[in-house]
Chains A and B, each alone.
Chain A
Amino acid sequence: MPDPAFVVAAILVSAAVTWALRALPFALLAPLRASALVRYLGAHMPAGVMTVLVVYTLTTLDGPPVALIVALAVTAGLHLWRRNIALSMLAGTTFYVVLVSWPS
């Protein structure tokens, strides 16, 4: 396992960045409201950031491509249909786990 001191440092860094993102904008509220750039970024960044994270997490999985494609399709299809994030995660992950754990 990783060094516990490193895990503690990682948790503290994550908590500090997250808290800063949640708290500092209240102090900077007025200029934020006026900034066209900030509003543009707010509208256009999330979909792209999530896409990058999907690709990044895919590179950390080592299952066969067909399992990845099927599980991605199940997740996306179910999510577009039911719009329930927990359900999409559960179904997609179950498909993936069954496909890669299947005794060959």
Chain B
Amino acid sequence: MLRVALRDSTAVGLACLPMGLAFGVLVAHSTLPWWWASVFATVVFAGSLEFLLLGLVTGGASLSQIALAALLVNARHVFYALTFPLHRVSGRLAKAYSTFALTDEAYALAQPHWRRGRILTLQALIHVYWVSSVTLGAVTGGLLPARVTGLGFAVTALFLGLGLDAIRSQRDALTPLIAAACALLAHWCFPRELLVVAMALFTGYVLVRFAVSRA
């Protein structure tokens, strides 16, 4: 079982490594002690949210802002329930872990005909890869000279890449332009509440466009 799962997940393990290292290094260079990186990786277990969360936590954001950020960044997971083979995972505890560990990678790899053990082992292995990569980055990140600044750009680069992927899959360049306009407007009018205001404006735009498209 383990051998099959190792083969299923090798590529994902390799893909996790640079991202995990990057997150670990960021934590090591933040105001938090390095070992928080492992706690983030184990308990939150959602890569792109962890990058954003680090900045929010060290920047003194409120818990409601943090909840909103989690909702926005991970809203895409809602759609995974449509096809992920959870019905193959029997048992309350197993179902609880399988939904907790329903990352992009697990969703992308798990096949409808897989048995319970293969799905759970895959998810546990991805969890181990992620926590190990992050911890390695956090431990070794302290070795980088302290005058190295600007590592926070990694978070911007992450969202830029994910955004370009989303734009390409939808072939819709207008939506990101409107979203950028909402964010800039929010930045000028309410700089301290940029995320909330920009998301409210943008969601309003999408809802209006939906209503118009059905009219």
Contacts and interface: CB of A to CB of B under 8 A. Distances in A.
Interface of A: 1-2, 6-7, 9-15, 17-19, 21-23, 25-26, 28-29, 32-33, 36-38, 40-61, 63, 67, 71-72, 75-76, 79-80, 83, 85-90, 92-93, 96-97, 99-101
B44 interface: yes
B176 A22 contact: no
25 contacts: A14-B67, A15-B45, A17-B70, A17-B74, A18-B44, A18-B46, A21-B71, A22-B81, A26-B86, A29-B82, A38-B78, A43-B170, A44-B209, A47-B170, A50-B166, A57-B152, A59-B191, A61-B150, A72-B160, A75-B160, A88-B161, A89-B18, A90-B18, A92-B157, A97-B150
B157 A88 contact: yes
A23 B78 CA distance: 8
A7 B57 contact: yes
Interface-central residue, A2, A6, A14, by most chain B CB under 10 Å = A14
B46 to A, nearest CB: 5
B108 interface: no
Contact of A93 (B59, B72, B153): B153
B202 A52 contact: yes
Nearest to B159: A53
Contact of A10 (B57, B75, B78, B102): B57
B100 interface: yes
Given A14-B49, A14-B66, A85 B154 contact: no
Nearest to A96: B153
Contacts of B10: none
Contact of B164 (A36, A41, A79): A79
Nearest to A87: B18
Interface of B: 15, 17-19, 22, 31-33, 36, 39-40, 43-46, 49, 52-53, 55-60, 63, 66-67, 69-82, 86, 96, 99-100, 102, 147-167, 170, 172, 175-176, 178-180, 182-184, 187, 191, 194-195, 198-199, 202-203, 205-206, 209-210, 213-214
A54 to B, nearest CB: 5
Contacts of A57: 52, 55, 152, 155-156, 159
Interface of B is mostly: helix
A80 to B, nearest CB: 6
Contact of A61 (B15, B18, B156): B156
B172 A49 contact: no
A79 B31 CA distance: 30
